[in-house]
Amino acid sequence: METTQQPQFTVALHLSDVAAEQVRGFLTQEGVPAETGGLRVSVMPGGCSGFKYGLNIEDAPAEDDIVLDIQGIRVFVDAFSAQYLNGVTIGYQSSMQGSGFTFENPNATGGCGCGTSFTA
């Protein structure tokens, strides 16, 4: 776990070892340099419960992003998302039904069966 403090926000975001390995693979696959690019983790209005998570590989952070270094991976978080992501653990699960990233959010007050939508 790494924590970076910007003027107004502190965000403690966690990546499991398996999730970090998957992100590194996506960065390599997309040809994004580790020195400038990284993983954007966001929260957007929508989903079945009110908010949904977003994950994207990006070439560089936005000017006002909080930039974290988690297990050697640059992670970009915008100010809106930061308030909902503190303490979140991103994992990766693979099963017969499929594979994908998972989110454990201690701030969520509810959720739904899809696993990517939550209420705060």
What is the distance between the alpha carbons of residues 84 and 26, in angstroms, rounded to a whole number? 24
Domain span at residue 32? 2-119
Give the Cα separation of 22 and 55 in Å (integer): 12
Question: DSSP assignment of 20-51, as one string?
Answer: HHHHHHHHHHHT--TTT-EEEEEEEEETTTEE
What are the backbone angles phi and psi of residue 54, rounded to the nearest 5°? -135, 140
pTM: 0.81
3-state secondary structure at position 87: coil
CATH number of the domain enclosing 47 = 2.60.300.12
pLDDT digits over 42-79, tens only?
A: 998 876 667 888 999 999 999 999 999 999 999 999 99
pLDDT per position as a tens digit, 9-38: 678 999 999 999 999 999 999 999 989 999
Residue 99 has pLDDT above 50, yes or no: yes
Share of the chain above pLDDT 70, in %: 79
Query: Domains in the chain: how many in total?
Result: 1
